[in-house]
């Protein structure tokens, strides 16, 4: 289907502050063509690089080098479990992995039996890896029970048990991504700079790839740059964008977006919000107001509220999550900037303490740098032995 079919012409609705009239304006075909050309060139270059790599690998393996046939298939599969993604996560977690691993190795080899001192050392190591005091206590309680029940005698055997306990704390349920296949409204919240707008952009493209009709709402009317940033993401995802004038009431923009989503039968409405208003109370009030608008105007929509947290802020993420939980029903967490942190343990802490599942993690600024969270892969990456 061409981008110029009615459904996919990007629309921008500009609300006139005085008259309150929303004027819809489509992005020009030239603009769209330019973006598409850029994307096509980028894709071609990536594919060429992929087939070159495949050819090289095939040649090295001594195989007949008629390569380049399978490379183009990478795109769809690349989505949630690409090797590149986990490689980047791996690199990001390298520091925490290394320090956690080294410290654990020291404990596991330094102790000949599982005694109080062993548990104390372990406690210190976990806390220093940003797993947090409370979660560390929970994990150690778990470990003590497992050691007793399974009659474990060797400290080294505790490594597997530790991993098991962490994985258990981070399981997403089967319904975690239900919003994708329903008529839904995804509200994206979080403080300034954590990666909300980027996450909305990445999600929009993921959903479009699955054939969903996406509508994006720029409810961060506080900064003009935020709308520009989102417009670029919307273009890339061929999604419509609803925005208001700078400084206008975010709830009014949400109202417009909900009307547009219903009228255009959008599958998913993604709402990007501001991370800072004049003060915190103001921000929280604004969020409640926007929530009420959606509740009232679109009660039939499936609701998802994602709180975006910057993994590099450590324990501060927990405080942010507590504050947002007080005003809105957070249904999932997005941990961003996992590529730049030595504090991978924060994912375990935040989920364990708030009982809200981590649903996505981000490892970079590109669209492919967001993936559904996988507890098994994550904990394995955290504990992985170096090759
Ligand atoms: N390295 C890295 N940078 C990210 C990630 N997610 C977002 N960013 C960057 O963080 C900065 C703030 O992101 P933005 O989406 O504008 O944050 P917002 O204020 O919450 O909307 C931008 O420079 C993004 O490119 C991530 O997963 N990894
Ligand atoms: Mg933003």
For ligand 1, the distance from its centroid to the CA atom of residue 90, given in whole angstroms, is 19
For strand 22-26 and strand 11-15, is the pairing parallel, antiparallel, or unpaired?
antiparallel
Of all protein residues, whose CA lies closest to atom 25 belonging to ligand 1?
365
Q: What is the pLDDT of residue 97?
A: 57
pLDDT in tens, 319-343: 999 989 988 899 999 999 988 876 6
- For ligand 1, pick from 360, 365, 367 the residue to mutate: most ligand atoms within 8 Å of CB: 365
pLDDT in tens, 191-200: 989 999 999 9
Nearest to 264 by CA among 206, 222, 214, 217: 214
| Nearest ligand by distance to the CA of 339 | 1
For the ranges 32-41, 129-138, 295-304, the lowest mean pLDDT is seen at 32-41
User: 23 phi and psi, to 5 degrees?
Assistant: -105, 125
Say how far apart CA 202 and CA 191 lie, in whole Å: 18
Query: Which pTM value belongs to this model?
Result: 0.78
For residues 204, 206, 211 and 215, what is the CA-based torsion angle, rounded to 10 degrees? -10
Nearest to 215 by CA among 198, 190, 191, 233: 233
Q: Which atom of ligand 1 is least distant from the CA of 200?
A: 15
If you search the block for the tokens 């929970």, which residue do you land on?
138
Residues forming beta bridges with residue 188, ordered by sequence position = 272, 306
- For ligand 1, pick from 187, 193, 195, 324 the residue to mutate: most ligand atoms within 8 Å of CB: 195
Residues forming beta bridges with residue 302, ordered by sequence position = 184
Model confidence at 225, pLDDT cuts 50, 70, 90, reads confident
For ligand 1, the distance from its centroid to the CA atom of residue 187, given in whole angstroms, is 17
């Amino acid at each position: 289907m061409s981008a110029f079919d009615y459904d996919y012409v990007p629309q921008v609705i500009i609300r006139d502050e005085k008259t309150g009239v929303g004027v819809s304006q489509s992005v020009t075909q030239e603009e769209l063509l330019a973006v598409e050309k850029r994307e096509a060139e980028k894709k071609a270059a990536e594919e060429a690089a992929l087939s070159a790599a495949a050819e090289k690998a095939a040649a090295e393996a001594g195989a007949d080098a008629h390569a380049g046939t399978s490379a183009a298939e990478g795109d769809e599969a690349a989505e949630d479990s690409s090797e590149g993604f986990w490689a980047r996560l791996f690199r990001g977690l390298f520091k925490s992995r290394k320090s956690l691993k080294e410290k654990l190795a020291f404990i596991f080899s330094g102790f000949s039996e599982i005694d109080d001192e062993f548990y104390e050392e372990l406690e210190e190591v976990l806390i220093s890896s940003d797993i947090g005091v409370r979660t560390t206590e929970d994990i150690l309680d778990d470990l003590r029970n497992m050691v007793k029940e399974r009659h474990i005698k060797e400290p080294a055997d505790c490594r597997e048990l530790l991993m098991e306990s962490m994985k258990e704390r981070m399981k997403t349920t089967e319904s975690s991504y239900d919003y994708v296949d329903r008529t839904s409204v995804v509200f994206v919240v979080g403080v300034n700079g954590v990666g909300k707008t980027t996450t909305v952009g990445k999600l929009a493209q993921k959903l479009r790839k699955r054939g969903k009709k996406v509508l994006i709402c720029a409810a961060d009317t506080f900064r003009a740059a935020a709308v520009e940033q989102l417009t670029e993401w919307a273009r890339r995802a061929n999604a419509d964008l609803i925005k208001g004038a700078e400084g206008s009431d975010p709830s009014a923009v949400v109202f417009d977006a909900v009307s547009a989503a219903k009228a255009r039968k959008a599958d998913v409405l993604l709402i990007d919000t501001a991370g800072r208003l004049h003060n915190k109370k103001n921000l929280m009030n604004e969020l409640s107001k926007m929530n009420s608008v959606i509740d009232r105007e679109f009660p039939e929509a499936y609701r998802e509220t994602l709180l975006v947290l910057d993994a590099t802020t450590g324990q501060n993420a927990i405080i942010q999550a507590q504050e947002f939980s007080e005003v809105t029903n957070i249904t999932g967490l997005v941990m961003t900037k996992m590529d730049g942190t030595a504090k991978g343990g924060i994912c375990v802490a935040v989920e364990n303490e708030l009982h809200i599942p981590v649903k996505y993690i981000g490892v970079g600024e590109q669209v492919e740098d967001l993936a559904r969270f996988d507890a098994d892969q994550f904990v394995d990456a955290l504990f992985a032995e170096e090759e």
